[in-house]
Amino acid sequence: MRIGFVGAGKVGFTLGKYMSERNVCVSGFYSRSMESARQASIFTHTRYYETLKEITQSSDALFLTVPDGAIGEVWDSLKRYSLTGKLICHCSGAMTSAVFSEIGQTGAFGYSIHPLFAVSSRLQSYQELSKAYFTIEGPEKYLAFWRDFLEGLGNPVRILKPEQKILYHCAAVFASNLAAGLYEMGVRLLMECGFDRESGEQALGPLFTGNCLSVAQKGPLKALTGPVERADLGTIEKHLGALCGPERDLYRGLSGVLVEIAKRKHPQRDYEPLSRLLEEEWRRE
């Protein structure tokens, strides 16, 4: 199986290096930026191609590691070539294989293969990719092949249905991007207490990273701390009184989720007064 990459950004660099280090035959890279493709080929000890047609002819499978908005455009160019028996994959978390319109007429098979991982560095992220889950969506014919292929690299794998992709992507956003928004809200509240932005971020950093690590390693139930776990009604009432707008809505909504976790952690503890408080807050709106 010769795998080529169309697109030489962070995801292309990372997957190409990760696979090549695990003895996968990576044919090389093609990109609209010849220099990016050349750099990726050097990084992965493969080659770069000057045309899309050349990399297509040299590859059994192609990973379109381009931004989501460019996948359809690249596919429209790609499907002009001979694709019989080839596997065409994109790495979007939100999009399905349906983006490969009329692929059945080309004799190829399309899949979405997504690493549940924040690829932040072209040159370093591959070192951590072994920890990531991969998800696969696409036609039945090669699902088992891709599952075995990815598990052979050392990664856990889940197969998704097309209708599950958006909810799956929402889950990833909750656990990653939205956490940045929560952190930003915490910093802004500290700034209202007299901190400047730099000192606010510095002050919250150890608390944030320590708690996130604990949640990731132990799970939310064992990692849960704070006034909700303690059923500290007085403190939570004061918090709600001090907050307004989006901060108050988020605090209230997320506290409701934490109550559910806390009940599982301490089934003997009475959380009903806290639940009633949060429900009353919703009714006041």
pLDDT at 280: 82
Q: Decide if 124 contacts 103 (C-beta within 8 A).
A: no
Interval 133-138 mean pLDDT: 98
Q: How many CB atoms lie within 10 A of CB 261?
A: 17
| Sheet arrangement for strand 134-137 | 47-48, 25-30, 2-6, 61-64, 87-90, 109-115, 134-137, 157-159
List, in order, residues 6 or more apart from 177 with CB less than 8 Å away. none
pLDDT of 91 above 80: yes
Measured in Å, how far apart are the chain's first and last C-alpha atoms? 59
What domains can you pick out in the chain, each with its CATH number?
2-162 (3.40.50.720), 175-284 (1.10.1040)
pLDDT at 32: 93
Q: Name residue 86's amino acid.
A: K
**Using one digit for the tens of pLDDT, what is the confidence trace for 29-79?**
999 999 999 999 999 999 999 999 999 999 999 999 999 999 999 999 999
Q: How many CA atoms lie within 13 A of 23 on its CB side?
A: 2
**Using one digit for the tens of pLDDT, what is the confidence trace for 181-232?**
999 999 999 999 999 999 999 999 999 999 999 999 999 999 999 999 999 9
List, in order, residues 6 or more apart from 77 with CB less than 8 Å away. 52
Cα 166 to Cα 123, 169, 180, 254: the distances in Å are: 29, 5, 20, 21
Q: How many CB atoms lie within 10 A of CB 9?
A: 17
**Using one digit for the tens of pLDDT, what is the confidence trace for 231-269?**
999 999 999 999 998 899 999 999 999 999 999 999 999
Q: Decide if 54 contacts 6 (C-beta within 8 A).
A: no
Instruction: In whole angstroms, give the CA distance from residue 51 to residue 205.
Output: 46
Q: How many CA atoms lie within 13 A of 173 on its CB side?
A: 9
